[in-house]
Structure formats: C-alpha cells, structure tokens
Structure 1
Amino acid sequence: MSASEQVTPEAQTRLNLAEQRGLRLGIGIRTSIAAAAFVWYVGAALLFPGADLRLATTVALLLFTAIGVTHLCLIGTRFDRAWMKYTVYMLDGLTICALFALVPISRADDVPQIIAFRAYGIYFLFPLLAMACLSLSWRLVLWTGTVCVVGWWAAFAWVSTQMDRTLSWADIPSAATRADYETIFLSIDFIGRGNRIEETAMLFFAAIALSVSVYRARAVFFAQVAADIDRRREKAARERVSDLLGKYVPEEIAHKLIADDAPMRPQRATGTALVMDIAGFTRFSAAHDPSEVIAKLDTFLADAARAVSDKGGIVISYLGDGFLVTFNAPVAVKSHATAAVQAATALVPVARAHAFDIRVGIATGALVTGIIGSDSRQSFTVYGDAVNLAARLEGKCKELGVQILMDDQTRASAGVAVDVLNCGDLLVDGIETPVQAFGLSGVSVV
C-alpha cells in the first residue's frame, strides 16, 4: 500500500506538523550559517584592513540571512504557502551557483573564473540538499537537487563562454605523457567539463536517493499512524465491549473474554460457592413502590458485590434479590474457604446499613466454570455440587434461625475457631446423605 493510499486526516495533520518542524529546523540551520558567514566575512574585513571585502558576497550573505529569518517567521502561520519553501531553496541553490560565476576569484583580469569551480567545487551544494531532507518533503528534495544541477551547469556555461580559450579532458592525447598532462590539466584554461558531468551526476543521484528515502519514511510514518489509529480504535472497541459485558457477566470474566477472542473453555477447580438472599424481601417489595424497590435493591447489591469482591469473590449471577458468588473459580483465590467466610460476615453489616437482613449459604467442593449456550447466544455460568449445596443451605437458614450456614468442608478448610453453631446433620434436597452444617454469626476467622 502506497503512502497516498494510507493517508487519513489525522495522519495528514500529524505529517503537516512534522513537516513544519523539520522545515523550520532546516531553514533555521541555513539561516544561522548564513548569518555566521556574514558576520565572519564583514568582521574579518573590519578587523584586518588588508582583507578583501566584496560587495556581491556581502549582499548575498545578507540576503540569505534576511530570507531565512522571514521564512522562519512565516512557517506555520496563515501566511505560509507551499511555494515559499520551493522558492527559498531555489534562491539558495541559484545564489550559491551565481557566486561561483560572478564573484571574481582574483583581482587580476587574466585569471579566469573557472578556477573557482576547480578550487572549491560542487560540495557547497550538498548541505543544501541535506537540509531539504529535514522538511520530510521528497518533492522539495528532488526540486532542490534539480535546481542545483541546472544552476551549476548554467554558472559553468556562463564562465566557460567568457573564456578566450578552453581546455578539457578531450584535449589530452590518447598516449599522453607527463608533459601533456602538465600542459593541459594544470593549465589555467582547463575547464574540466568531464568533472562537471561527474559531480552534477553524483549530486542528482544523491537527490534521487534522498527523495526516495524521504518518500519511504513518509510511507512508514503513515503506516505507523494508521497502526496507532487502529490500536486506539481496537482499544476503544474493547473498552466498550468490556463495559457492556461487565453489565451482564462478572468483570473478571469480561476482561478474560476481551483479552482472548477464543471462547473460555470449561475449567474444573475446587472452590467455594456463596449464595446470598434477602430475608423478608417479598414483604418489603409488597409494601413499597416498584421503582423504590428496584433503586434500593440496586444500591444494596452494588455495595454487597464490592464487599465480596474485596475478598476475591466473583459475582457469577444475580438471583432475584440475591446473588451467587464463587471463590477460586474461575479466578484463583488463595484460601478460598476462608475468603468466602470473611465475605459472608462482611455482608451482614452491609445489609444492615441498608435496613436488610440476609441469609447466606456457603459450600466447598468441585466447581466447573465456562461458557454455555448456542452460537447466537451464550452466557458464563458455574455449576457443581457446591453451588447446589450452598443454595440449599441458604434456604435452611430461616428454618434454623441463623444468618450464615456452611457445610463441614468449608468449616474445616476455613479454620473457623469460635462462634460456630453445630446445626447437626441436615437432610438436603437432591443430596442422598445428610450434610453436617454449621451456623455462624460474627465469627472470627484464622
């Protein structure tokens, strides 16, 4: 995919800012160099009376500095135009070339100006090409290289046509001797046309290579911006999905589903299930307006969910006026039975703060968690004997006159030390053998 195919409004805006910063850097560098050269050139003439101060060079350096300062002030403003940078770099290139053609190399009339090309050379134009790269505009780089080549040849042609006699590589005999080279190559009239071809070819090839490099850098830039936009969109989409899932499935499960696109496979673990229900909720709902009942229930369940989450529990589902919580399934919890008992005792004061009494059943055993349902509709659930037993024990609380009832495996695993009421063996629906149960009320857990 080409850079133009990946351009988005955001990417173009970012690139425009990067181009402005790079152009400002390049223009700043060349302006600083021009100003330093102007100060050095004029200062040297003032400090050393014998120094040669040429008006053309002084004006050119001053003009270079003034143009740079003006352009720096305009970059990024409402007065900035695309043609300005092309004009500035064209003036820079042509001015450098003009200096080689018009500023006399010597005060003597018999010294041809071609000596300037032989003594200094085209390398004065390469920094201009390098500074053009800072703008991140491949067109400006190619434009600068082309202008420099054309300007260099124009200056060379102007100088060589002013000479009465010219010598070049073609004038050296095929079997040239040392004397032939000394006569022609070291002659003051030697213009070296072949050298001009080589140096301008190198300059133009460098311009092409640098422009391609800048173009590729722009393509990489657009690709990175596009990838960044995609990452932000994906993150936002995942957050929206997570927020939506969080309303219907436990937050921890939602995060797992978002992190892994594959459906969560069933997991088997030994854990503890906690079932909570509000005592006398039917009477409460009958005596109050439905909207008030829902509002009060929502507030209480939110606080209750936070209380069990603080202990590592996961609210798997809401059961009318209560909920089902699991510990160590599917998210690992150390000492899950202890955590479940601590969560149950923490729920009692939370319920009382909302003017409710609760009943809690706790059971420890095998739990299986995972996604169930059809391809079109699925839900996360947990099942196992511990879930069924916790629900049955919650139902026995009213019959036994306790708020919290747990099975013997939970008691043994949690290490309950005090305030344990042995409720004996209970016959529980769906379980053939009696279940030894223990009631708690404000117990201490070790």
Structure 2
Amino acid sequence: MDDTFERESAARLIRAEQTGLRIALACRSAATGAAFIWYVLAAVLFPDVTPRLATIGVLLAFTAVGVAHVAIIGTTYDRPWIKFAIYGLDVCAICAVFALVPISRADDVPQIIAFRAYGIYFLFPLLAMACLSLSWRLVLWTGGTIITAWWAAFIWVQTQMESYLSWGDMPTDATQADYENVFLSIDFIGRGNRIEETGMVFFATLALAAAVYRARAVFFAQVAADIDRQKEQTLRERVSDLLGRHVPEAIAARLIEDDAPLRPQRTRGTALVMDVAGFTAFSAQHPPEHVIETLDALLSDTAKVVSEKGGVVLSYLGDGFLATFNTPVFVTDHETAALAAAKDLVTVAKAHGFDVRIGIASGDLVTGIIGNETRQSFTVYGDAVNLASRLEGLGKDLKSSILLDEATGVVAGDVVELTRLGAHPIRGVDGQIEVFAASSAA
C-alpha cells in the first residue's frame, strides 16, 4: 500500500473510531444520567428509600467523566489510553457495586445474593459499546477486564462468608430435598455459574473482537476502493480537460468511458490539413513572444471549429494541424462535416488577420497508438492524410483556400457547390488527381 492509502486509511479510521466512541459515551452518559434521575426520584416516590449522598456523587461523577471524554475526543487533549481507562473504570465500578453495595438492609443477607439475583449481563452493554469504537483491542480489553473484575468481586464476596455451598456440595443422586437444601440455600454461591457466565463473556469477546477486526478489514478495502475511484475520477477529469480542448465534450466523454476508439482500427474517414499562409514572414517581423501568443490564440480558435463539427485535431504541424473526421470517433457524413469545418476555419483565421490553406481528402484511415511503455502517441496513417497535405500545398499554386479530392468532392458536392479544377499531378501520387475547390465564403 502506498503512502496515500496509508494516510487516507488512518485518517478515515480515526474519524470512524471517534464517531463510535462518541455514540458509546453518549449512551453511557445517558445510562448513568438516567440512573441518577431514578435514584433521586425513588426517594420521592418511595418514602422508605433514603438516598445516599455518596451514591449520588458517584453517579454524577460517572456522568461528568463521560461528558468530558466526549468533549475532548478529536482534540489535542485526547489520548488513546483514555478510552481503555474509562471502559476499565466502568467495568470495575459495576463489579464493585455487586461486591460492596448491600443487597439488603438486613445484616444476615449475604452479598452473594447480588450475583444470583442479577448477574453478569449488566456488563454486556459495555462489551457491545466497545465494538462501536472499531477497535478490536478495546473489545478484548473490555472483555478481559469484565472477566477479571467479575471474578475479583465474586472471590471478595466469597471470602467474606463464614460458610458457603456450591455445586460440589450437591450429591450425585440428588433429590428434590437436596436441591432445596443446596441450590435454594442463602449461602449458595454457584461457583460453576460464575464459570459459565465468564465463559460466555470470553467467547462473546473473541467473536466480537473478530467481527470488529473483520469490519476493519472491510473498512480498509472500502478506503482502498474509494481511493482508486478518486484516482480514476481525477484521471478522467484530467483526460476530459485535455480532450475537451480539441474534442466536443460529448465525444470526450465517450473516449473516456470506452477506449475502443483509441485502439488500432481501419475506418473510412476524411483528413483535413490546415496551414496558415504567410506565417513565416509574420514570424520574421515580430518578437518570438508575440508570435507564440498569436499562434496559440489562432490555433485554439480553429481547433474549436474542428471540434464543433465533430472532428478531432490529432497533431499540430508548425503553424497548422491535421484533423480527422469519423476517426477515432464516429461522425455522420464526414466529408460534408470536414468541408463545413474548412469554411469556418477560413472565417476564423480572417478574424485573426490571417489566410489559411486547407486540403481535404477522404479514404481509408488507420488510427491507433504507437510508441513504447514510457511514451506513446495517437496517430493516423493513410493515403488520404498524405493527399490532404499535398492538396493544402497545391492551394498556393491554384490560389484557392480550400481544395478537395474527388472522393470528398463527389459526396460534399451534393450539399455544397464546388468548382471542378480538373486533374492535377500530385507529388508522391501516381497519375493525376481530380481536384475540387470550395468557396471560402461561409
């Protein structure tokens, strides 16, 4: 796991533990507060009950401790050992009640009756609340403290008795009278019952600690998944931002959701090559900073034009670029879309004070990613790309801003009026190519 995962996991776990502790301590404070209210009201409702100031003070103190701990959770005053101390204090306090608070006003009623009449289940809520902290160590600590303190209280009470009976005093073939004499005796301590009680606490503690440990594992897995989703979302947003500069938002979203268009594929599409006329002379007359600023503004606006028509700018060529239509993303009527983009490119370039030459050719285009593991580039191959580049250059000789090959002209000519310029030799192409010119007026 990397450092980011470690830090994020630790931070989230701490917040979860703090929330659980607040809930547990709120329940604890509510319980002690309710006990305080009941103890005071009992004196009012039952005249024969006389409240002890010491008991009232203890209940108030326990309530205050819980409230104080809730207040410092997450602050600089919070310490990991405090929760262990408070849970230990609660366990010991309950066990002390069983051992020290008289079960009866009569002196001849042994305190062991408290263990027989009530039992260890008073301590189970503490074990349950320890689970809210998401700390398996606190669960083990609480369970271990319950067992230890419970036996300490029981042994203390037993040592205060002059004589006692237990299951060992029951005859093997016990009769009803034997059960009445032993089990119903006021001196019956039931040591075996204490073993059963603490045995249940022991196994419950192990099960709950294992459940909390498992919950933490699930928690860490969830954090890891969340971090992965955040990284993926960040990457998607970054890619979307980068693609969105040259690709319509809808197309960028499609490319992010499905990388199929970026895989090697052969498609019939249209290539468009644009170049700024006279930009070399412009560059020689102006400082480099101004040249770069001007070119950046021009290419940014012209690239937006291509995006609006559904095309994708694949590469910049000096003061121009290569764009494709119908690859890597689908575009209906790519020939017409490319010609419409070309007309708008001429208009936008004039707004920047420049003329452009554009060559458009249609045919089979092969697109895909090339390179190695450390550096890759998405590119396009095909005769249409080379032909579009040659037509852009030919436009200078024919004094035309937009030239199209026959494959594009035949289709686009049904929508836009074109001028047939006849067959022309194209460098690198066998024979002559029928060339069409389009009016640069939008």
Note whether the superposition's TM-score is higher than 0.5: yes
Residues 20 and 329 (structure 1 numbering): CA distance in 2 closer, same or farther, change over 3 Å? same
* Unaligned runs of at least 5 residues, structure 2: none
In 1, the alpha carbon distance for the partners of 2:64 and 2:373 equals 72
Residues 431 and 13 (structure 1 numbering): CA distance in 2 closer, same or farther, change over 3 Å? closer
Structure 2 equivalent of residue 79 of structure 1: 77
**Given the alignment of the two structures, is residue 63 of structure 1 paired with residue 26 of structure 2, yes or no?**
no
Q: Deviations over 1:245-265 (max 9, x none)?
A: 9999999899969986x9965
Aligned CA RMSD, in angstroms, stands at 3.5
Residue 108 of structure 1: SS of its match in structure 2?
coil
**Given the alignment of the two structures, is residue 186 of structure 1 paired with residue 184 of structure 2, yes or no?**
yes
Conserved in 2, the CA contact under 8 Å of 1:250 and 1:315?
A: no
Residue 79 of structure 1: SS of its match in structure 2?
coil
Q: Does 429-438 or 135-144 show the bigger shift?
A: 429-438
Name the TM-score, length of structure 1 as normaliser. 0.87
Deviation at 1:271, TM superposition (A): 0.3
Aligned partner of 1:138 among 136, 139, 143? 136
Residue 402 of structure 1: SS of its match in structure 2?
coil
Structure 1 equivalent of residue 88 of structure 2: 90
Structure 1 equivalent of residue 205 of structure 2: 207
Structure 1 equivalent of residue 27 of structure 2: 29
Residues 389 and 306 (structure 1 numbering): CA distance in 2 closer, same or farther, change over 3 Å? same
Q: Does 61-70 or 114-123 show the bigger shift?
A: 61-70
What letter matches 2:196 in structure 1? E
Deviation at 1:376, TM superposition (A): 7.5
Residue 393 of structure 2: SS of its match in structure 1?
helix
Conserved in 1, the CA contact under 8 Å of 2:262 and 2:328?
A: no
Residue 185 of structure 2: SS of its match in structure 1?
coil
Structure 1 equivalent of residue 423 of structure 2: 425
Residue 285 of structure 1: SS of its match in structure 2?
helix
**Given the alignment of the two structures, is residue 198 of structure 1 paired with residue 205 of structure 2, yes or no?**
no
In 1, the alpha carbon distance for the partners of 2:375 and 2:11 equals 43
In 2, the alpha carbon distance for the partners of 1:176 and 1:55 equals 47
Residue 8 of structure 1: SS of its match in structure 2?
helix
Residues 143 and 379 (structure 1 numbering): CA distance in 2 closer, same or farther, change over 3 Å? closer
What letter matches 1:117 in structure 2? F
Residue 21 of structure 2: SS of its match in structure 1?
helix
Q: Does 31-40 or 368-377 show the bigger shift?
A: 368-377
Residue 273 of structure 2: SS of its match in structure 1?
strand
In 2, the alpha carbon distance for the partners of 1:418 and 1:82 equals 78
Q: Deviations over 1:211-267 (max 9, x none)?
A: 23323333443444455446656766787899899999999899969986x996531
Residue 347 of structure 1: SS of its match in structure 2?
helix
Conserved in 2, the CA contact under 8 Å of 1:277 and 1:358?
A: yes
Show the 5 A alignment for 1:279-428: 279-372=277-370, 379-414=377-412, 416-428=414-426
Residue 427 of structure 2: SS of its match in structure 1?
coil
Q: Deviations over 1:188-212 (max 9, x none)?
A: 2211110011101211222233223
Q: Deviations over 1:370-393 (max 9, x none)?
A: 234578865432222222222222
Conserved in 1, the CA contact under 8 Å of 2:247 and 2:312?
A: no
What letter matches 2:349 in structure 1? A
Conserved in 1, the CA contact under 8 Å of 2:5 and 2:227?
A: no
Q: Does 214-223 or 165-174 show the bigger shift?
A: 214-223
Residue 162 of structure 2: SS of its match in structure 1?
coil
Show the 5 A alignment for 1:113-152: 113-152=111-150
Q: Deviations over 1:345-374 (max 9, x none)?
A: 110111011110011111111111223457
In 2, the alpha carbon distance for the partners of 1:369 and 1:360 equals 21
Deviation at 1:438, TM superposition (A): 2.3
In 1, the alpha carbon distance for the partners of 2:416 and 2:53 equals 105
Deviation at 1:427, TM superposition (A): 3.3
Residues 376 and 196 (structure 1 numbering): CA distance in 2 closer, same or farther, change over 3 Å? closer
Residues 77 and 392 (structure 1 numbering): CA distance in 2 closer, same or farther, change over 3 Å? closer
Residues 39 and 377 (structure 1 numbering): CA distance in 2 closer, same or farther, change over 3 Å? closer
What letter matches 1:151 in structure 2? A
Conserved in 2, the CA contact under 8 Å of 1:407 and 1:435?
A: yes
What letter matches 2:347 in structure 1? P
Residues 267 and 298 (structure 1 numbering): CA distance in 2 closer, same or farther, change over 3 Å? same
Residue 68 of structure 1: SS of its match in structure 2?
helix
Q: Does 167-176 or 47-56 show the bigger shift?
A: 47-56
Conserved in 2, the CA contact under 8 Å of 1:363 and 1:389?
A: yes
Residue 349 of structure 2: SS of its match in structure 1?
helix
Conserved in 2, the CA contact under 8 Å of 1:275 and 1:323?
A: yes
In 2, the alpha carbon distance for the partners of 1:357 and 1:397 equals 12
Q: How many residues align?
A: 440
**Given the alignment of the two structures, is residue 277 of structure 1 paired with residue 305 of structure 2, yes or no?**
no
Structure 2 equivalent of residue 111 of structure 1: 109
Structure 2 equivalent of residue 102 of structure 1: 100
Deviation at 1:296, TM superposition (A): 1.9
In 2, the alpha carbon distance for the partners of 1:372 and 1:13 equals 42
